[in-house]
Amino acid sequence: RRSPRPPPRPPRPPLSVIETAKILPTCHRPMSSKRKVKVLEGSGRKPGVGNYSEDEDAAIKRRRTGGEAWGSIARSLGRSVNAVTNRGRQLMNPKLAPRGQGHAGVPDRSINWVDEVASAMQRLPNQQGTAYDVIAVLKEMGHVLEESPVPGTWKTRGFSLVSNTLSNARNPQFAALQRPARLGQSGTVVQVTHGGQGHKASVRFQNGAVELFRVSSLALAASPSARQIAAGASVTVTKEEGGVVKVEAGPRNKPCTVYKYRPELTPVKAVKSPGTRKWLNAKERKKG
């Protein structure tokens, strides 16, 4: 005698997006699972989409200051760890301008800044100078440059406008001067920086120019027995490094590239070809 069949199992409730993502392999996970993660703190907008809101910025700063890990903050906001880490470092770095709301700072399109920068450089000695020199001349010419800082950087919008005009590859008439040979020359160390690219020292030479060198390219002239190069030490360049002329002309002792105006390199503007002749049909020929 056959045993009675067991009663059918009740239907299993559908899995949530998060549970489905845990069960399915990586290649079959729904692509939108990350965006449907519940945002614990934020503005109520879709997580991981668009710019950061003021509430999200405040949450990142507050929670990171409290010692919370970047990964925990990123999961609660529905964003990647790298994105939240970069955002938090930009918000908490006092050297950078605050990010967030603000106008776009679009320059005046009615002004041809290439021609204006060229006119300013013609008034400089030897038709050469840094971006700060050009800005000073532009102000003398009556131009008003925006002084508000670009979000996330130390540069002002006016400096970025002039600097981008000088360094743009489409403007070969603004040539960056090659740095003169410093091999065997001596100078005084102004500042030593430690970064991801190694130790570098800013050296001021007799003509007043300040250039950046790797510490390994310098040798102490005053006290060769010293193990470390510090500010105020007298050094000699032992290895030549290529580059362009950089002088100390900006705020916070930022080295600036020196440009020279070369009018013979100004690109010729393309002339529009005359329009093709329009052939008239029979009706148009009758109308004359």
- Tens digit of each residue's pLDDT (9 = 90 or more) over 192-236: 887 666 688 888 888 788 888 888 889 888 776 766 788 888 999
pLDDT digits (tens, 9 = 90+) for 144-190: 888 877 776 777 888 889 999 999 989 999 999 988 888 889 999 98
How much of the chain, in percent, has pLDDT values that exceed 90? 15
pLDDT of residue 122: 94
Tell me how far apart the alpha carbons of residues 100 and 74 are, in angstroms, rounded to a whole number. 19
Please list, in sequence order, all residues whose beta carbon lies within 8 angstroms of the beta carbon of residue 170, skipping any fewer than 6 positions away.
267
DSSP label at 45?
Answer: S
Buried b (16+ CB within 10 A) or exposed e, 9-34: eeeeeeeeeeeebeeeeeeeeeeeeb
User: Residue 27 above 80 pLDDT?
Assistant: no
Identify the band that residue 19 occupies on the pLDDT scale cut at 50, 70 and 90. low
pLDDT at 104 over 50: no
242-277 residue pLDDT tens: 788 887 766 666 778 899 999 998 887 766 666 566
Interior angle at CA 186, CA 184 and CA 189, nearest 5: 135
* pLDDT above 70 (res 90): yes
Q: Strand, coil or helix: what is 188?
A: strand
> For all residues of the chain together, what is the average pLDDT?
77
Could you tell me the pLDDT band of residue 278, with boundaries at 50, 70 and 90? low
**Helix residue spans in the chain (DSSP H):** 17-23, 54-65, 70-77, 81-92, 113-122, 131-140, 157-167, 282-287
pLDDT at 176: 92
Confidence category of residue 282, pLDDT binned at 50, 70, 90: confident
Q: Give the pLDDT mean for 119-138.
A: 92
Mean pLDDT of 83-103: 68
What is the reported pTM?
Answer: 0.53
SS3 per-residue string spanning 150-167: CCCCCCEHHHHHHHHHHH
